[in-house]
Structure 1
């Protein structure tokens, strides 16, 4: 009866409007946790997520299976995730936060490094193979699909035979760090475009940029 009377006289607390799931986006930057990985090529996913959070003055908080930051832009809510599971187990964090935030699979975007692209270049795709990338491989196995959006950031393949692991886990050169000052904002632009204008428009405007 008390609940009925509160509703009748408008005394109950207003409920929060439910967010339209189609306007929620999960942006996942892949990387490895720990200070020794902070400035490495393999952690470009973390770097892009950090750059986007910094632009919107969003703060990461440690949550289950990763660090989370949220912000809104023109009616869309972007949820940034940096998994704390290490690269090879990224799928667990991605799957959990998709379900936790009720984000449709088509609104997922995974940011990763790519040895097959020139340094700093961007390539967005709606689906595809894991390309030998352990993070993407685990996401594919966990979600049981290759049909999810990915954002590949080129780190080039300038390493000698047998030195691939050392290369991806090594820090950026000084020249690369200087170039990142331009490439990271462009990457943030591409992610905003994905949320606001859709994947097709974003691919047309940013691929190869």
Structure 2
């Protein structure tokens, strides 16, 4: 079984430590836990992780967040990944910091990266895992907030939250979306 696990973010050092790049950070944590190293490939950086007989292709698109669909579509076709074996990880301002919310399908919820993926795949029928980044910003400052850096408190809590997301991704690949939702959406 082969899975495509996509972490959304923006390329470039100026975005590396921002909230909007949590998808990249989650995949970095999974790669590190698996002793895997990313290499540059077409439309992004990729590595392969094996877990309980499954192959997880981890992709960090280099197409910028709002154009992520191009990379996702390309790698789904190139690797013959079924839509039910696609998992996209993104940030979510509607969820408190560190909250994990997995869904088997759904709307983009205002997230332009998810919107572009759905548009280019022609469906919203793919799993998405959202990492809550909170929404503690003044009205009209959403862009500054999501492109801002983590607070010291958030950084202290980050290793524990990343570990949970790594476990949830492995669970998604081994027991499926429904059971993983039941086990991890409340944590």
Question: Taking structure 1 as the reference length, what is the TM-score of the superposition?
Answer: 0.89
2:52 is aligned to 74
Q: Which of 155, 158, 161 in structure 2 is aligned with 1:177? A: 155
Matched residue SS, 1:153: strand
1:158 is aligned to 136
1:168 is aligned to 146
RMSD over aligned Cα atoms: 0.5
1:14 is aligned to none
Q: Within 5 A, what are the aligned runs for 1:22-61? A: 23-61=1-39
Matched residue SS, 1:111: strand
TM-aligned CA deviation for residue 208 of structure 1: 2.8
For the pair shown, the structure with the greater C-alpha radius of gyration is 1
TM-aligned CA deviation for residue 73 of structure 1: 1.2
Where in structure 1 are there 5+ consecutive unaligned residues? Answer: 1-22
Are positions 1:187 and 2:165 aligned together? yes
Number of residue equivalences: 187
TM-aligned CA deviation for residue 67 of structure 1: 0.3
1:88 is aligned to 66
TM-aligned CA deviation for residue 76 of structure 1: 0.4
Distance (whole Å) between structure 1 residues aligned to residue 146 and residue 84 of structure 2: 29
TM-aligned CA deviation for residue 181 of structure 1: 1.1
Matched residue SS, 2:125: coil
After superposition, give the CA deviation of every residue in 1:2-54 in whole Å (9 maximum; x if it has no partner).
xxxxxxxxxxxxxxxxxxxxx10000000000011011000000000000000
1:121 is aligned to 99
Matched residue SS, 1:185: helix
Question: Taking structure 2 as the reference length, what is the TM-score of the superposition?
Answer: 0.99
Distance (whole Å) between structure 1 residues aligned to residue 105 and residue 81 of structure 2: 17
Are positions 1:109 and 2:80 aligned together? no
1:147 is aligned to 125
Where in structure 2 are there 5+ consecutive unaligned residues? Answer: none
Query: After TM superposition, what 4+ stretches of structure 1 lie above 2 angstroms from structure 2?
Result: none
Distance (whole Å) between structure 2 residues aligned to residue 103 and residue 58 of structure 1: 20
Matched residue SS, 1:145: coil
Distance (whole Å) between structure 1 residues aligned to residue 29 and residue 42 of structure 2: 22
